[in-house]
Structure 1
């Protein structure tokens, strides 16, 4: 047997330290996944800011600080015991798009426990929430007055979905126009004026209720989101529909946002990217599937 080398204790400790350092680096790299890109980016920016502040010998009132809305969001979600309805993987789909496009215009059908998060991820942009429950809006406004929300009403119910699907097949519903002036039965016409006039970069359909027969359904919200995307001046709109495990969200998203425009499905969330159809008379309502 070959005898072992007798390294001095100091050399052994140095070698052990180097080995542990490489082990830590390897494990750190292998443990991260793509779903944590947004969190990593925020942490990296915070680290750079902290490093910059540490170098300052005296901090004046103009020193950089974390914006108040972001601070409130961090405190709220750190201390809250309520879990948003979307999963981490579902949220990450929209968060990745926001990371590229923010600050931007983001329209959300629904006001919920995740609203402060969406507004914070679009910091510096405009995030607008449309909610059917007036009492819930007031409750959220008292807690988070910085959120911009509007009360809207929906005339259609889940049990009318089949009839509305048939109504949506007429030529008037395939014509690209401002939903306010559309002749289609599916177009929402009672939204706040600015909702129709803003060029939305992202639209999330996570309301109205839609989970029982007599509840307001998401048929008109899905159709209107698709029409707003087609009617924008130029460019593309990313549209997200949640709860596609349900019949209405499944069928209406495929029919009016189009399978050919679908980019991804993660769990109960679908992501569509819809281009402007203005001045593009040759574009079909839905592209042909390959």
Structure 2
């Protein structure tokens, strides 16, 4: 009997179907991990963004709910502004009067004619609002901007002179260009300031302080244009129906030019109070007129033309460069 010496070798090969199934499973797992990672990252970013937004909203709400300025800090600023420098132009009572109007509502629009020792005080007290300065001295404006980054200050060339005060009063009455309600940017009135940035004429100013330009001599520019411009800006607000008023302050009210021009354009009947040398007027917005002669009048009982302004050619004079007359 012959024995079978042939050895048989059996090999097992993986089928094509099994290999395809394994590849597909691996592929699906990769896609699964990809989508899982994508949605995890997206969810994390959404959560982070929501947290930031919530935090920002809470901060904004807290900020808007907080008082505009801590009273004790404002008191300290006013105190040191009044006593820390010998060249301070305002007393504590005068500083307090302006401060009260600025701080009455948070985020006021404040326009100041004249750079002075108190300029940084006004900007600080109105920290939540917009404060703009206008001055006759381009060098002073440049230095002020360099020393205080972010401040808004503009220089303007005044063509008026204190010695022309009486003449300019008579002139405006006959000029429709000098009417109470208008956009001064397009005005040719000699008393109006029309070369400031456009936004100055488009802004509804809440408080205007006239503490410049200089007016101690006949050749000084005087504050005639500043007072006239303040009166027009206050009356020419865009939101006339709200009857919102502008607080206008005129410093050195004891000088004749400042007193006469304030009473002519800001009006005696709108005078709130006089604190020291500071006059406070409250002027409401008005509708523009058609242009009859009666409309080139700012106040009901104007007496400006009856004032005797004597011409002065030079020299510093505490009466603003014009001859004094007794009040009625």
Same fold (TM over 0.5): yes
* 2: CA distance, partners of 1:80 / 1:126: 26
Aligned residues: 224
Show structure 2 runs of 5+ residues with no match. 1-68, 303-328
Answer yes or no: is the 8 Å Cα contact 1:82–1:113 preserved in 2: no
Match for 2:205 among 155, 179, 200?
200
Q: What root-mean-square deviation, in Å, do the aligned CA atoms of Structure 1 and Structure 2 show?
A: 2.9
Match for 1:218 among 219, 223, 230?
223
* Matching residue of 2:237: 232
Cα distance change on mapping 1:95 and 1:253 into 2, 3 Å = same
Structure 1 residue 181: deviation in Å?
2.4
Structure 1 residue 197: deviation in Å?
1.3
Answer yes or no: is the 8 Å Cα contact 1:116–1:147 preserved in 2: no
- Normalised by the length of structure 1, the TM-score is 0.69
Structure 1 residue 176: deviation in Å?
1.6
Q: Find the residue that maps to 1:118 and give its secondary structure.
A: helix
Cα distance change on mapping 1:215 and 1:285 into 2, 3 Å = closer
* Matching residue of 1:145: 149
Query: 1:84-163 alignment to 2 at 5 Å?
Result: 84-163=88-167
* Matching residue of 1:276: 285
* Matching residue of 1:42: 71
Q: Find the residue that maps to 2:104 and give its secondary structure.
A: helix
- Normalised by the length of structure 2, the TM-score is 0.62
Q: Which string of whole-angstrom CA distances, capped at 9 and with x for unpartnered residues, describes residues 223-264 of structure 1?
A: 010001100023111111111111110100000111111111
Match for 1:164 among 160, 165, 168?
168
Spell out structure 1 runs of 4+ moving beyond 4 A.
76-80, 279-284
Show structure 1 runs of 5+ residues with no match. 1-39, 47-69
* 2: CA distance, partners of 1:114 / 1:223: 23
Structure 1 residue 179: deviation in Å?
1.4
Cα distance change on mapping 1:115 and 1:221 into 2, 3 Å = same
Answer yes or no: is the 8 Å Cα contact 1:261–1:287 preserved in 2: no
* Matching residue of 2:250: 241
* Matching residue of 1:190: 195
Answer yes or no: is the 8 Å Cα contact 2:136–2:158 preserved in 1: yes
* Matching residue of 1:286: 299
Q: Find the residue that maps to 1:101 and give its secondary structure.
A: coil
